[in-house]
Chains A and B, each alone.
Chain A
């Protein structure tokens, strides 16, 4: 990595200041994406602002919502009894990210800020209809994800927590890239009182997206059969050495049915 200045502020205001004053300053959460990028010299930050002393981790149940601090590690989400009971799909999703080491460092806030098109969490937040809280505002999941590695976050804006409505049912199914084990197709389905939301990660050229046709069918009949006839076109899907766009299109159908079967 290139040389940089390291800061570990102990207040959110100081962290925001450090990040906003300098276009080349970058936040560091669990480092599971950022540090490999630094090691490969693909990024040259002036200052790295470590968010670990801001008190941003923790999981609380607040009425019909679960609030997860941005710095909460994947392993803590996976093993949290409230999440396991109320949003089992999310606990399972977290348990399937990377390996033990990654899960004990990586954070939900880092994953969402990064918005890797093959990352798992974005599908959950979108399907759950969550809200991303930052140092300055609340952003609805539907507005937050804006394409590969692109989010609604402004320069220097820090995610502080994620607020997730507790659905009636939820499940995540992931078809893994055999090499990286990120999602080739990841499907998060959530059945809410207001209807079903189903989001797909790994497949879309524009990153995570909702499958409205499936949502409509599932809202009428929450069963795998309801979507078995739905064909997803390959246009707009990713193709790479591991999976063609056609294969991904097919997998969206298979993996979605499995997610629904698991949730139902």
Chain B
């Protein structure tokens, strides 16, 4: 056993159970007498429900009960709540149409739940679901953002005029317009951010249980934040008090944001378990996941930058349409506003910024945060725009970035879009990335590729993101209906081993390892004597869960605070045992020492005394050694860095091959370098997926055209090149660890680097911009269209 504290690449302890098939996922949990729910979903995008005949289904073998939307409504079950309220530019609140758990009156997207069939086996429930007779009147549907805001467009919700959920602004338009009016040059770019389907490896599952003796409900669910689900579902949907509701999210096989939200199925199985007094389980099929998990991205924007004659950025002006889908998912309204527009300064000292975002309802699956959430959209827009500025002015794209960077001595740096960055050094991450990618050797590689008939291109992205979400007061003032602190309980057991109870949730990130390393570091307890418990509201005091790369920066900081309390109490006990004054006790390497003497006690001596308080300062101190801390961050954290992509295009087919990828990120203090590297690799893989492969499509009728892996291009291992991943870190200045976060940087920084590389590869074809994903078919059309012109020149 070597060094296992902060900075050690300790192997992930959870992987032993995952790789040996011993993970305990929600679907692995079965309760006595369990029933199975199958959700009948809308097969059309928009329709009036005239009548649902449940008679045949109810009479089918094995069926215990069929519920429709009216059954829940009749019991006063509310709709699914939205956790964030945005205000329009005129100060009025956003439109917040009802989001029934099971559709009533109308269905609004393919996949909208219409009925639930509960039977003694899944097979029987599926059989019976086919017997439901639903009489619909089809309505015209609108799936596409630009269509949805056209005058006379179909209304997704009655009374939501023009399908506008909100029309929000940040920045002073008059000031920004003034800067544009007198600028040397304005560079404009229209672009879309393609819609994505998250596709966690483990589909969603929910199992509701009701204890007939105690009247307690338990929901086992695939969630990134069980306490939030308990709060939302208990308080706002089913009206179950927290003391009667346990939510347990055991091992979860990937989330990427899609398992943050409170979903209808969770409420359905919990409610049904209470009605039927039996456990009810629902397990998504993959095709259901495509049409019921919240999707990501889906923006259409126009971006303009005003510049002076040397290429300095003077002002940025943006309008964005953001797709909300048919209903507001839990955090959807925050994504294109406070997680997007506030990031538009990026790493640049652009003095004034104005952004108008219209959030739009369409007849599609709700859209919400997906790895990066808002920040990939902002980064893509900005980093594409910067490349287009370079293209139009002829200024070198690296030089253009350098001259506009916020300098390393300017921190704390107040941006014009609300955020205050605490630390960063963009010149350094750029410099190291250029070196690691051998930027200077690129033209030789391009020439060599040309000999092989390939078009080689290189692209760069210098990005910044805001994570470590988030100061409660700040997000509260921005419309959040929750606080975003984190909670940790550190339980030192009588013999000195430690259990950590964290309110964050690990669904692939490796918290059981990283968080244990914090205990090794601060308390000196050996790694194998530290257990990290997460995911169970019955065990953990409280927590806001894992998303926005917050687990370490916020959850880890809560642990530090709780361990500070453990040490403080331990010192008092040690002082008593060693007959010294508390001020003279020092704690280091698991040992309390009386300063300047050789008198010492180990943490185990102290914990034993705390639990067996025979010789103990019982008058002043309670027994036990178990401390809890709530930590509310003072600010967001601001990871940033530089990503460089190199691609080769086959001009005969248009197909892009990723040949090199270099990431140099500033993630603050690194606890486990191996885990950081893995997180960056995974994020970059998703970013490459967005840039080259993935794109959720709907046809004009609102049918999903990419409803399975036959048509939705998930990246595979051999689509992803070997990557060079490194960090160049500056410390976060406002949390005790100095950590910023690494979970999303890969997905945020990489897409523009890839597209910039593709555009660079096509520079001889006069390509200024192209939208993601850069598929072979798309590039072939571009090359085809440009070839005759090139021949003519």
Contact = CB atoms under 8 A, between A and B. Distances in A.
A180 B711 contact: yes
B706 interface: yes
B146 interface: no
Interface in B281-318: 287
B780 interface: yes
A179 B689 CA distance: 11
Interface in B679-709: 693, 697, 705-706, 709
Interface string B625-654: 000000000000000000000000000110
Interface in B31-81: none
Contact of B711 (A41, A242, A244, A251): A242
A250 interface: yes
A101 interface: no
B693 A254 contact: no
Interface string A231-251: 000000000011110010011
Interface in B586-609: none
A178 interface: yes
Contacts of A5: none
A178, A242, A243, A250: which has the most chain B beta carbons within 10 Å? A178
- State the main secondary structure of chain A at its contact with B: loop
A3 interface: yes
Contact of B713 (A2, A175, A179, A254): A179
A25 to B, nearest CB: 21
A194 interface: no
A243 B709 contact: no
A251 B780 CA distance: 10
B119 to A, nearest CB: 14
Interface residues of B, number: 23
A41 B125 CA distance: 14
Nearest to B130: A41
B653 A254 contact: yes
B127, B287, B697, B710: which has the most chain A beta carbons within 10 Å? B710
Contacts of A180: 709-711
B712 interface: yes
A180 B126 CA distance: 27
Contacts of B697: 241
Interface string B107-141: 00000000000000001001100100000000000
A254 B709 contact: no
Interface in A157-176: 175
A254 B714 CA distance: 26
A141 B706 CA distance: 34
Given A254-B652, A254-B653, A243 B777 contact: yes
Interface in B769-791: 775-777, 780-781, 784
A3 B121 CA distance: 13
Contact of A178 (B127, B705, B713, B784): B713
Contacts of A254: 652-653
A242 B652 contact: no
A178 B693 contact: yes
A120 to B, nearest CB: 16
Contacts of A242: 711, 775, 777
A250 B776 CA distance: 12
Given A40-B287, A251-B653, A254-B653, A244 B777 contact: yes
B776 A178 contact: yes
Nearest to A248: B777
Given A180-B709, A180-B711, A242-B711, A3 B123 contact: yes
A253 B531 CA distance: 61
A241 B705 contact: yes
Contacts, number: 37
A48 to B, nearest CB: 16
A241 B780 contact: no
A229 to B, nearest CB: 15
Interface residues of A, number: 16
A247 B780 contact: yes
Nearest to A257: B652
Interface string A2-41: 1100000000000000000000000000000000000011
B123 A241 contact: no
Contacts of B784: 250
A179 B711 contact: yes
A242 B123 CA distance: 35
B593 to A, nearest CB: 58
Nearest to B778: A247
A243 B130 CA distance: 34
Nearest to A179: B713
Contacts of B126: 41
Interface string B652-669: 110000000000000000
A179 B694 CA distance: 9
Interface in B726-756: none
Contacts of B652: 254
Interface in A196-219: none
B574 to A, nearest CB: 59
A144 B394 CA distance: 61
B777 A247 contact: yes
A247 B776 CA distance: 10
A3 B122 CA distance: 12
Contacts of B653: 175, 251, 254
Interface string B551-584: 0000000000000000000000000000000000
B271 to A, nearest CB: 27
Nearest to B654: A247
Nearest to B776: A178
Contacts of B714: 179
A251 B650 CA distance: 12
A179 B123 contact: no
Contacts of A3: 123
A227 to B, nearest CB: 14
A242 B130 CA distance: 32
Contact of A179 (B127, B287, B712, B781): B712
B754 to A, nearest CB: 15
Contacts of B712: 179
A144 B743 CA distance: 54
A251 B709 CA distance: 23
Interface string B512-539: 0000000000000000000000000000
A250 B653 CA distance: 8
Contacts of A40: 287
B711 A241 contact: yes
Contacts of B705: 241
Interface string A106-147: 000000000000000000000000000000000000000000
A40 to B, nearest CB: 7
Given A251-B653, A254-B652, A254-B653, A179 B709 contact: yes
A241 B706 contact: yes
A225 B652 CA distance: 15
B652, B693, B712: which has the most chain A beta carbons within 10 Å? B652
Given A175-B653, A178-B713, A180-B709, A250 B777 contact: no
Contacts of B780: 247, 250
A180 B710 CA distance: 4
Nearest to B773: A178
Contacts of A247: 777, 780-781
A178 B775 contact: yes
Contacts of B127: 2
A180 B784 CA distance: 25
14 contacts: A175-B653, A178-B775, A178-B776, A179-B706, A179-B711, A179-B712, A179-B714, A180-B709, A180-B710, A247-B777, A250-B780, A250-B784, A254-B652, A254-B653
Interface of A: 2-3, 40-41, 175, 178-180, 241-244, 247, 250-251, 254
Given A179-B710, A180-B710, 5 more contacts: A179-B706, A179-B709, A241-B711, A250-B780, A251-B653
Enumerate the 8 nearest inter-chain pairs by beta-carbon distance, A residue then B residue, closest first. A179-B713, A180-B710, A178-B713, A254-B652, A179-B711, A243-B777, A247-B777, A241-B705
